[in-house]
Amino acid sequence: MTFHTANASSKKPAAPVISRIGRFVVVKELGQGSIGAVYLAHDPVIDRHVAVKTFNPKLSAFERKKNEEQFINEARAAGRLSHPNIITIFDASNEGGTTYIAMEYLQGRELSRLLARHHPFEFKDIATICCKVADALDYAHKHNVVHRDIKPANIFMAGDNQPKIVDFGIARAPNRVADALAKTNDAPYTLFHNNLLGTPTYMSPEQACGEPADGRSDIYSLGAVMYEMLTGRRPFQADDTEKLLRMIAVQNPTSPHEVNSEVPEALSYIAMKAMHKQPEKRYQTAQEMVHDLKRYLTKGKKPSVKKPEVEEENSHKEKPAKAGFFGRFWFWALTITTLTVAAVRYYPH
C-alpha cells in the first residue's frame, strides 16, 4: 500500500491518502465503514476499473484477524462463483501487511436504500428481482456455498433492476479458513451476542435458534426481503434483538396480501412459503422458488394456489344436488309406472 500526503504546509497534518493497493491504482474512495473502506481503483494490467475493499489500519490485532478471516472467506466463497447476479471477485491478496479484495465495480445502490426511500416497485419488478436473486442462490447452493446473510443491504441494484448478491463474508463454503483455524467446527451455525453473525431481521428461524443453516435459510431470508418489498414493512419488528429472535422463531407474520390488499395473492403465497417456520415445508431448492416466480411472470395476476382447490370443491358440491334432482325424478316416474301397471292388472276393465 502506497500513501501520499496532501499539502504538507497546511497547519493541520493531513490524513494519509492511499494511492495504490497492490497493483491497483486508487482513483477515489467510494465509502468507509467501521472496519475498512472501499475504493474505486484501476487495474493497469487488464485496463479496467475495479472496487477494492480493505481494512481500517487502526483496527486492533484481534479485530483485524477476525475480519481478515471473513475477507478471505468472502474471496473463497464468491471467487468460486460465476453468475450474472453475483458480484465477481477478481483478486484477493495480502501485500505489505494489507489484506484486500478486488471485485467488480458496480454502479447503482443497495436495495436497502431504495426501500428506505419507499421506492415504488411494480409487482412484476419485485417478482423479476426476486427471481434473479433466487436463481443466483440456486447456483451458489449447487456449488456448496450458503450465503447466510441475505438482506436488502447485500442486494446491490445496478441498472435496469439488475440485482447482484454481494458480501459473502460469513458465507458457508468448502475449505473455509475459519474451519481450519477454529478449535471447534461452528461454520454451519450463526453465532449470537458478542459473536453475532448475520442480520437478525432477515434470519431464518433455525439461525435465530442457533441451529445449523443450509440453503433453505437463504431461501427464508429472500422470502423476508420479498415480504418487505411487497408490503413496505419488515415481517417482524421489535425493540431489542432477543425479542426479535423469539418472534422469528415462533411467530408467523401476517400474509402480505392481508397487509396490502393490492398485493397479488400468488406473490403473497410465494413469500410465505419461502418463510415457512419449518425448513422442510419451504421451497426445498431456490430453483423451486424461481419456477413459481416465473409462472407468475408469465401468467400475470393469477389466483393463489389455494383458490383453484376451493373452486373445485364447490363444483363437486353442486354435482350431488343435480344428481339428487334427477334421482328423485326417475324414482317417482318408476313408482307411478309400477302403480299404474298394478292397477291395470288387478282392476281390469
Asked if residue 267 and residue 140 are part of one domain, the reply reads yes
Asked if residue 171 and residue 299 are part of one domain, the reply reads yes
- Answer yes or no: is 21 within a domain: yes
Tell me which of 39, 72, 105 is where a domain ends: 105
- Answer yes or no: is 320 within a domain: no
Q: Is residue 220 within 8 Å of residue 237, measured between CB atoms?
A: no
Tell me which of 88, 105, 122 is where a domain ends: 105
pLDDT score of 35: 75
CA angle 223, 132, 115 (to 5 degrees): 55
Asked if residue 133 and residue 29 are part of one domain, the reply reads no
pLDDT score of 186: 39
pLDDT score of 153: 94
Asked if residue 91 and residue 192 are part of one domain, the reply reads no
Exactly one of 149, 167, 218, 292 is catalytic; name it.
149
Asked if residue 298 and residue 238 are part of one domain, the reply reads yes
What domain count does the chain have? Answer: 2
Asked if residue 250 and residue 275 are part of one domain, the reply reads yes
Domain with 29 in it: what CATH number?
Answer: 3.30.200.20
pLDDT score of 173: 62
pLDDT score of 248: 94
Asked if residue 78 and residue 161 are part of one domain, the reply reads no
Q: Is residue 99 within 8 Å of residue 204, measured between CB atoms?
A: no
pTM above 0.85, yes or no: no
Q: Is residue 271 within 8 Å of residue 258, measured between CB atoms?
A: no
pLDDT score of 159: 81
pLDDT score of 229: 97
- Counting beta carbons within 10 angstroms of the beta carbon of residue 118, is it exposed (0 to 12), middle (13 to 18) or buried (19 or more)? exposed
Beta strands in 197-330, from DSSP E residues, in sequence order: none
pLDDT score of 331: 55
Judged by DSSP in three states, 126 sits in helix
Q: Enumerate residues 6+ apart whose C-beta is below 8 A from 68.
A: 55, 94, 99
- State the 10-residue block means of pLDDT for the chain, 349 residues long: 44 60 92 84 94 81 77 80 93 82 93 94 96 97 93 92 88 52 40 50 92 94 98 92 92 95 96 97 98 91 45 42 48 56 51
- Block residue for cell numbers 422442510: 280
Tell me which of 55, 85, 105 is where a domain ends: 105
Asked if residue 207 and residue 62 are part of one domain, the reply reads no
- Answer yes or no: is 92 within a domain: yes
- Answer yes or no: is 346 within a domain: no
- Answer yes or no: is 149 within a domain: yes
Asked if residue 169 and residue 117 are part of one domain, the reply reads yes
pLDDT score of 58: 73
pLDDT score of 307: 44
Domain with 143 in it: what CATH number?
Answer: 1.10.510.10
d(CA 322, CA 2): 87
Judged by DSSP in three states, 37 sits in strand
Q: Which domain holds residue 32?
A: 17-105
d(CA 275, CA 236): 12
> Is 138 part of the annotated catalytic residue set?
no
Judged by DSSP in three states, 25 sits in strand
pLDDT score of 198: 54
- Answer yes or no: is 214 within a domain: yes
- Answer yes or no: is 210 within a domain: yes
pLDDT score of 28: 94
- Answer yes or no: is 67 within a domain: yes
Asked if residue 178 and residue 77 are part of one domain, the reply reads no
- Counting beta carbons within 10 angstroms of the beta carbon of residue 270, is it exposed (0 to 12), middle (13 to 18) or buried (19 or more)? buried
Asked if residue 193 and residue 96 are part of one domain, the reply reads no
Asked if residue 148 and residue 120 are part of one domain, the reply reads yes
Residue 6 CA neighbour count, 13 Å, CB half: 6
pLDDT score of 315: 41
